[in-house]
Structure formats: C-alpha cells, structure tokens
Amino acid sequence: MSRALLFAANWKMHHAPEAAVQFARRFQELVAPRADRALWFFPPAVSLEATAQAFARRADVHVGAQHVHWEAKGAFTGEISLPMVRAVGGAGALVGHSERRHLFGETDEQAARKVAAVLAARLQPILCVGETLAERDAGRTEDVVGRQLTAALRGLAPEDAARLVIAYEPVWAIGTGRVARPEDAAAVHRHIRTLAAAFGVPGRLPVLYGGSVNAGNALGLLAEPEIDGLLVGGASLDPDTWAEIVGLGA
C-alpha cells in the first residue's frame, strides 16, 4: 500500500499527564518514524502539554485537543481556546466528535465555527461526521453526513477547505463493538469526496474511519483505497495495541 496513512488516537477522558508520558515512552520504543504515515494523539486537555513534550522529538507525531472554542478568549468557563492549544504544543483539534454532538449538544453551526477558527489559527482540524443507528436504518446516512459536512464547507474558501481532514465515525459503531463493513465505509467516504468536489475543494480530502476499530479489523478497513487512516478510541489507550495498529497497512 503506497498511499500515506493517518492514524489518530482519541484518548477521550483517559491518561492523566504521568500516564500520558509513560504511554509515549513505551510507544516510541515500539514504533519508529515512517515516511508513509502520520500519527496524531488527542489527549484530555490536562495532558496536552505533557503529551506534546513527550513526543517533541518525533516529527511524525502531532498532538491536538479533543475540543476547542472558536473564540480566542472570553468568559467561557470550562472551555479552551486555540491560542491556549498552540501555547502548550498542540497542532490541531478534533471538531464535532459524535460525543460532543450527542452528549453535549454541539450543533452543526458550532462545529462549522470551530472548523473555521482552527483553520484561521493555522492548526489542523479533523472534522468528525456520522449518523446514528436510527438514521442509518432509515436510509439517511448520506443525508446526515452531507448536512454535517455542508455546514462546515459552506463558509470556507475552497483552498481552506482543502486543508481539512474528515473522520467518518458512524455513531452506532462507537464503543459498541460494531464496525462498518469496509465496503460500506468506503461508500460513505466516496460520498464525502463527491460533496467536497461539488463545493470546489481541490484535490483529494483525507477521510479517516472511526468506530470500534481494533487490531483485528483495522487491516481490512485499511485495505479499502477510499480509507486514508483511522480515528481510534479504546484500542489506542494501550501503547502495545496502538503500536500494532499503526504498523498495519504496509
């Protein structure tokens, strides 16, 4: 497989600073840099600086925030800003993760404002899109994903939109043990790229798959040419397991 791959680890509410440093130490013992892949880690906010420092010598590793606010500062208790992320070594941010949308009420409009803010800050946004089980069963997958993506693309210049990374993460597959069949995920990825092209986005947007990915199913997903990498939660929490996954697809 000659194309470059992107592997993103979303630690969610796991790994305080000391645990993050221990993870980084073990992971770097197991995984050497490779020209054909980029590695991203999204630790909880309190561990962002420790994680960035632990990987500081690895040009192939980038660290980002799980969640940001679109304003640079203000009376927004509990939020973190993009200048704060940059100040502690962060290089990007997840936007619109399904848990932010469905547990905390983040809207398409808010996700779009965050995408624009991350791009304006010259950091990397990874925009998450995906449908619920009810929406899937109703045959609305493309409509839902299209709505979420369109909200973000509508306000962007095509050259800015070309800097996006998209993560397709069907809500029904996250943390459930259910995973989309590679061919089904690939069909959604094609739809995402078709929609981006309709907005004038040049080139090929990188599109990742996320949702109950593990060492047993990752290779089958990566074999699909439409799948450019993986966004992984639970299986990224152990350095040995994550090292195994990021070594796949060679």
Give the active site residues: 97, 169
169, two tokens: 């993460």
Query: Which amino acid makes up residue 147?
Result: R
Number of H helices, E strands in the chain: 11, 8
Distance, CA of 182 to CA of 112 (rounded, Å): 28
Q: Using alpha carbons only, how large is the chain's radius of gyration in Å?
A: 17
Please give the sequence-ordered ranges of beta strands (E in DSSP) within 15-139, or none if there are none: 37-42, 61-65, 92-95, 124-129
- Other beta carbons within 10 Å of 165: 22
Which residue is listed with tokens 């996954």? 245
